[in-house]
Amino acid sequence: DIVMTQSPDSLAVSLGERATINCKSSQSVLYSPNNKDYLAWYQQKPGQPPKLLIYWASTRESGVPDRFSGSGSGTDFTLTINSLQAEDVAVYYCQQYYSTPITFGQGTRLEIK
């Protein structure tokens, strides 16, 4: 199984500042034939299902504000939230869909400082 490890577990950032969440996979999720990283990021607010933010490691889902961006390849990935807004308070998960079992990181709780 591919183990996904996020850091930090929780994060407090001031409004308007940048938040950075890291995700490391225990093996590469880069599929060489199409050169795509099978890595997604989700945002989950209390009482709601997760919402897709980023897929293929860096492609922003339609309707997601451009302050959200994803980067990285292979085994190391980053979700960056620029100019943090109050509505960004949530738990963020990375996910690999390279192989089954599909696995998620443990989650990173983002709060306002």
Partner 1 sequence: QVQLAGSGGGVVQPGRSLRLSCAASGLTFNNYGMHWVRQAPGKGLEWVAVISSDGKTQVYADSVKGRFTISRDNSRSTLFLQLNSLRTEDTAVYYCAKAGFVGSYMFYFDYWGQGALVTVSS
* Residues contributing to the site for partner 1 (CB under 8 A): 38, 40, 42, 44, 49-52, 55-56, 61, 93, 95, 97-107
CB 73 within 8 A of CB 37: yes
The CB-of-86 to partner 1 minimum distance in angstroms stands at 23
Min separation Cβ 48 and partner 1, Å: 8
Q: Which is nearer to partner 1, 26 or 83 (CB)?
A: 26
Local structure of residue 44 (DSSP, 8 states): E
CB of 68 to partner 1, least distance (A): 15
- Our CB check for partner 1 shows the closer of 38 and 68 to be 38
Say which residues have a Cβ less than 8 Å from residue 104's Cβ, sequence separation at least 6: 4, 93, 94, 95
Task: List Cα–Cα distances, 57 to 14, 95, 108, in angstroms.
Answer: 25, 10, 17
In whole angstroms, the minimum distance from the beta carbon of 62 to partner 1 comes to 9
Q: Which is nearer to partner 1, 11 or 52 (CB)?
A: 52
Rg (CA), the chain: 13
| CA-wise closest residue to 17 among 85, 84, 110 | 84
- With respect to partner 1, which residue has the nearer C-beta, 20 or 56? 56
